[in-house]
Amino acid sequence: MQFESPVFLLLIILLLLGILYNVYTKTIKSSALRFGGVESIKNLPRTLIAKTLPILTISKISIIILLILTLASPHVIQSQVRRFPEGIDIYLALDVSDSMRAEDVKDSNRLETAKSVIREFLINREADRIGLVVFSGESFTLCPLTLDYTVLTELLTDIEAEMGDRLQAGTAIGEAIGTCTNRLQITDSKSKIAILLTDGENNSGSIDPITAASVAKSYGIRIYTIGFGKEGGSLIPVEDTTFGKRYEEKPTFLDEETLKAISNITGARYFRATDLETLRQVYTEIDQLEKTKFQVFEFTNQKDLVAYLLIPASILFGFEILLSNTLLRKIP
């Protein structure tokens, strides 16, 4: 609580001094009466009404204090800070081609590892619209931009390593970039990014990755690329109706130069990850690079407290007049 005219508060000190002086003078008079031989008057029985006479004094003092506080113009400053997020539109492009089934990651394959890290990435986002694109030899939007991270997480969990078998074979990086660009170009967000994860090279689709990156740049879209998995051959599980599950070693080639070029063209960065921990670090770094920005506005409101003082002062004043002219009336 603050006072617009705190100088009036000095009157409370004068009031307290006046009360102390009054008590002192009454004490002197009481001593004089005692020595004057009228001590027996004090021993006379007092009625209930006589005992309540100090109420009038207390009421008068309270009224004066309330009026002094009113003159000081008390008020309360109420401040409120509101944050308005400037959300980022993000598309996650995930490679689901056959090579993503490679089990060269501890206790899992490449796809399941990528899914687990992306789920962690979603937990850290705030007020961002996020969509999901999957691709192998072709690409499609599995989930459009949404703020419902629960639904997005469920769709991500349902992606299976066999999904690539239902799509055209290969790795269409250019097609994936084109799908993300088509989705992001129509949004009104100030910040638009795509995070593309793959373990291979562009060997399918009709769109060249560099051309697709140039188009994305023209729409202000930044594309972070992630090369995932170990280089060289990798063991890929194959279901065999005769011998059951077996593994085949298939060579994989990660075209890092193209992935670097895509990120450089769009003003983003390329990352390399070979296991769970390095992939987790990559998404953590991207999360820090693309933090949601907030516009902060502070609202200040001054609430006047004068009415809260005048109302009880008026009530006490009426109460004092009523009692002093009825039950506690003094006869001259």
pLDDT digits (tens, 9 = 90+) for 73-86: 787 776 666 655 66
C-alpha pair distances (Å), 205 with each of 6, 176, 194, 212: 78, 9, 19, 12
Q: Say if strands 191-198 and 88-95 run parallel, antiparallel, or are unpaired.
A: parallel
Domain ranges across the chain: 2-78+301-324, 88-291
> What is the average per-residue pLDDT within 256-278?
94
C-alpha pair distances (Å), 70 with each of 51, 312, 316: 31, 11, 15
For the cut 90, the answer to whether the pLDDT of residue 41 exceeds it is no
For the cut 70, the answer to whether the pLDDT of residue 269 exceeds it is yes
CATH superfamily label, 88-291:
von Willebrand factor, type A domain (3.40.50.410)
Strand partners, 75: 2, 304
User: How many CB atoms neighbour CB 56 within 10 A?
Assistant: 15
**DSSP string of 167-222?**
S-SS--HHHHHHHHHHHHTT---SEEEEEEEESS---SSSS-HHHHHHHHHHTTEE
Q: Say if strands 221-228 and 232-240 run parallel, antiparallel, or are unpaired.
A: unpaired
> What is the average per-residue pLDDT within 219-238?
84
The pLDDT value recorded for residue 160 is 77
pLDDT for 99-123, tens place per residue?
A: 888 888 877 889 999 999 999 999 8
For the cut 70, the answer to whether the pLDDT of residue 150 exceeds it is yes
The pLDDT value recorded for residue 298 is 60
pLDDT for 297-315, tens place per residue?
A: 565 677 777 777 778 878 8
Q: Over the chain, what is the mean pLDDT? A: 81
pLDDT band at 96 (very low <50, low <70, confident <90, very high): very high
Tell me the three-class secondary structure of 133-176, residue by residue: EEECCCEEEEEEEECCHHHHHHHHHCCCCCHHHHCCCCCCHHHH
pLDDT for 166-217, tens place per residue?
A: 667 889 999 999 999 999 999 888 899 999 999 989 999 899 999 999 999 9
pTM (2 decimals)? Answer: 0.64
